[in-house]
């Protein structure tokens, strides 16, 4: 068996690490870099490019270069999330048969799992070169606020990349592992993770080798790319004011300006001012080449983005309340993610928490290091006895009721793993199937939450209505992923169940997600490139070329039977027998020692 590594699959950059002789190390690649840009592209010759190669040609091939795709993974095409994101992407998004988001690149259509798999495969290959050994196992991190579908999608991407995914681990929790390694601590820490695409905050108690997450939350639409976008929009408007030429329609110009804005933002963390210089950004109406020359101050950047930082702090305040703790009870606030380097972030957090944030973890590498620690623990003979990790569910999971509200099965910040059982009955004579829609989110209305999928329990025996009762067990594993099993209470036989992905019938109709087109196009420097030819079949990613009507990669529920923990099998919770529309109130949450017992049962299958 090969090596196990930890992978921080980031929105903008990805990082990998491993453990050697008990010490974690970040993998350094042949070019000396310690991160890989999370980018994928197909060039004019049909070659597939990943990482730095894709990044280097983005300005001349923006429509076929995929960046920040992590924000899309596991999303439904018609969701509110898509409406927010589609306006800022330069590549084409299309809807799949099951309402999943697909990406069109060079006349080919890819799932988000396949794009992520290409990045993971590049990380795997370069890690093998650096370690001179086979790498076939990994712990992959995700934002704490990722829902079930997003976590399933990351697992599928890892499998496509040829990796055995040992665990999907929350990024703030991984950072806490990196912080606590080799130290005897008794602390309550807050992990403030402001990365390239998402923001997370987690409150974690560290007691020696026990890491207990108390509460977690975040914002999947707040990250470094939003800071870049604010500065980019200001640069575009300033250029219009100075020259009268609007280049916002020009994908190549926008890509160059976005990249320059990101670099300026990074420099302004160390300097009070910087200069953006882009030669021949476009032509004016007379065909004269125009350059973009602009000074940017730290003060201007802070003016443009202070509300984004305030949004993150408002989330911190809410999560502290959910954790039942005060700012004074937080011993350390750890800053993770590249955007946390911004001086105004540190200043505002110091004012909020009442002390200077800790600098005891590397903001870019802590998550990858923590993932490597977990990978080593899960793959070594010593096993997870080295540490105990108790995590929580980031968002509530429930089912729809007849009035359109959500009956919560698992509450937000529910300790993991856990399970619930519910009894469903038929409502018609000789009814052969029961359908149950599962949602995740924080709204009381299902239409405002994410539809995880529709489970169909079929093959029921024919009987008068109400005479067939099936007991459904909902099992949330330690990664926050939902699994279901069902059995006929009278016969004891398992009931066939399958997951259907598709549009939510309860969701309101949404307007078109296409951005408005400009009324008149000014002259531009670069004409649209013709679509590149399709690449040959010998490629670096399996199952990547799809048909005209592609379907999403199968989620875990369709790859294997839906498992249930041995503990759940031995001691199922008995409940009342309502209909599928009106389930009973969930059971109370277990205490600390109950969580430890559940953790051991889930771990050793007993």
Q: Which of 193, 219, 250, 262 is catalytic?
A: 193
Residue 45 CB burial class (10 angstroms; 0-12, 13-18, ≥19): exposed
The single-letter DSSP state of residue 311 is H
Helix (H) or strand (E) holding 94: strand 92-95
Q: Which of 43, 100, 148, 171 is catalytic?
A: 171
Whether 113 is a known active-site residue: answer: no
CA distances from 555 to 154, 206, 474, 479, 604 (A): 10, 34, 17, 15, 25
d(CA 375, CA 369): 10
The CA-atom distances, in angstroms, between 150 and each of 75, 144, 259, 421 are 7, 11, 27, 24
Q: Which of 72, 77, 80, 87 is nearest to 443 (CA)?
A: 80
Q: What is the 3-state secondary structure (H, E, C) of 275-307?
A: EEEEEEEEECCCCCEEEEEEEEEHHHHHHHHHH
Angle between helices 224-243 and 251-267 (to 10 degrees): 120
Q: Could you give the residue ranges of the DSSP H alpha helices within 25-111?
A: 52-56, 80-85
- Count the Cβ atoms, other than its own, within 10 Å of residue 364: 20
Q: Is 418 a catalytic residue?
A: no
Q: Find residue 336's DSSP bridge partners.
A: 193
Residue among 8, 100, 148, 364 flagged as catalytic: 8
- Closest-CA residue to 92 (of 65, 52, 118): 65
Q: Which residue is catalytic, options 43, 70, 124, 262?
A: 70
3-state secondary structure 97-164: CCCEEEEEECCEEEEHHHHHHHHHHHHHHHHHHHHCCCEEEEEEEECCCCCHHHHHHHHHHHHHCCCE
For the question of residue 70 being annotated catalytic, the response is: yes
**360 catalytic per annotation:** no
Burial letters for 461-484: b for 16+ Cβ neighbours within 10 Å, e otherwise?
eeeeeeebbbbbbbbbbbbbbbbb
Distance, CA of 257 to CA of 598 (rounded, Å): 52
The rounded radius of gyration (Å) of the Cα atoms in the chain is 25
Query: Please, which residues have CB within 8 angstroms of residue 373's CB and are 6 or more apart in sequence?
Result: 6, 19, 24, 174, 177, 178, 181, 387
Answer whether 534's CB lies under 8 Å from 46's CB: yes
Whole-angstrom distance, CA of residue 487 vs CA of residue 172:
38
User: Which token pair is 547?
Assistant: 């048909």
Question: Which residue has tokens 């302004």?
Answer: 268
User: Which residues participate in catalysis according to the annotation?
Assistant: 8, 70, 171, 193
């Amino acid at each position: 068996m090969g090596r196990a590594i930890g992978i921080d699959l980031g929105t903008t950059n990805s990082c990998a690490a491993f453990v050697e002789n008990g010490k974690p190390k970040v993998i350094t690649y042949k070019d000396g870099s310690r991160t890989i840009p999370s980018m994928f592209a197909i060039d004019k010759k049909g070659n597939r490019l990943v990482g730095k190669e894709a990044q280097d040609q983005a300005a001349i091939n923006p429509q076929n270069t995929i960046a920040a795709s992590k924000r899309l993974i596991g999303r439904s095409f018609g969701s509110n999330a898509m409406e927010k994101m589609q306006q800022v992407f330069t590549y084409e998004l299309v809807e799949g048969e099951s309402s999943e988001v697909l990406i069109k690149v060079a006349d080919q259509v890819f799932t988000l799992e396949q794009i992520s798999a290409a990045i993971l495969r590049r990380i795997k290959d370069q890690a093998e070169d650096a370690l001179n050994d086979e790498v076939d196992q990994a712990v992959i991190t995700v934002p704490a606020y990722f829902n079930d579908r997003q976590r399933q999608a990351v697992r599928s991407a890892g499998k496509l990349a040829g990796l055995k995914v040992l665990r999907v681990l929350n990024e703030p929790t991984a950072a806490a592992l990196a912080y606590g390694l080799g130290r005897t601590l008794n602390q309550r820490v807050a992990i403030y993770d402001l990365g390239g695409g998402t923001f997370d905050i987690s409150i974690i108690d560290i007691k020696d080798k026990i890491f207990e997450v108390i509460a977690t939350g975040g914002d999947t639409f707040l990250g470094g790319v939003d800071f870049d976008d604010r500065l980019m929009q200001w640069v575009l408007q300033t250029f219009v004011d100075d020259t009268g030429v609007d280049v916002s329609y020009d994908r190549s110009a926008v890509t160059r300006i976005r990249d320059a804005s990101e670099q300026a933002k990074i420099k302004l963390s160390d300097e009070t001012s910087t200069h953006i210089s882009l030669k021949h950004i476009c032509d004016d109406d007379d065909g004269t080449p125009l350059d973009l020359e602009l000074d940017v101050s730290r003060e201007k950047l802070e003016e443009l983005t202070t509300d984004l930082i305030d949004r993150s702090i408002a989330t911190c305040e809410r999560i502290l309340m959910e954790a039942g703790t005060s700012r004074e009870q937080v011993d350390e606030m750890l800053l993770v993610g590249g955007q946390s380097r911004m001086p105004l972030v540190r200043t505002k957090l110091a004012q909020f928490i009442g002390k200077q944030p800790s600098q005891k973890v590397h903001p870019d590498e802590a998550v990858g290091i923590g993932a490597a620690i977990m990978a080593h623990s899960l793959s070594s003979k010593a096993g997870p006895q080295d540490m105990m990790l108790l995590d929580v569910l980031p968002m509530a999971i429930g089912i729809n009721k007849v009035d359109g509200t959500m009956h919560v099965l698992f509450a937000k910040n529910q300790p993991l793993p856990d399970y619930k059982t519910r009894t469903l009955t038929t409502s018609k004579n000789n009814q052969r199937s029961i359908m149950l829609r599962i949602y995740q989110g924080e709204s009381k209305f299902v239409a405002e939450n994410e539809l995880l999928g529709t489970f169909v329990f079929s093959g029921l025996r024919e009987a008068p209505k109400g005479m067939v009762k099936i007991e459904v067990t909902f099992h949330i594993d330690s990664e926050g992923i939902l699994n279901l099993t069902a059995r006929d209470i009278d016969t004891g036989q398992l009931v066939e169940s399958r997951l259907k992905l598709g549009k939510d019938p309860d969701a309101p109709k949404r307007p078109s997600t296409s951005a408005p087109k400009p009324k008149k196009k000014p002259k531009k420097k670069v004409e649209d490139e013709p679509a590149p030819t399709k690449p040959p079949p010998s490629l670096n990613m399996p199952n990547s070329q799809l048909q005209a009507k592609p379907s999403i990669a199968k989620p875990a529920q369709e790859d294997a039977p839906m498992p249930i923990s041995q503990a759940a099998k031995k001691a199922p919770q008995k409940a009342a027998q309502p209909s599928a529309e009106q389930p009973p109130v969930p059971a109370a949450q277990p205490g600390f020692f109950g969580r430890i017992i559940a953790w051991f049962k889930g771990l050793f299958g007993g």
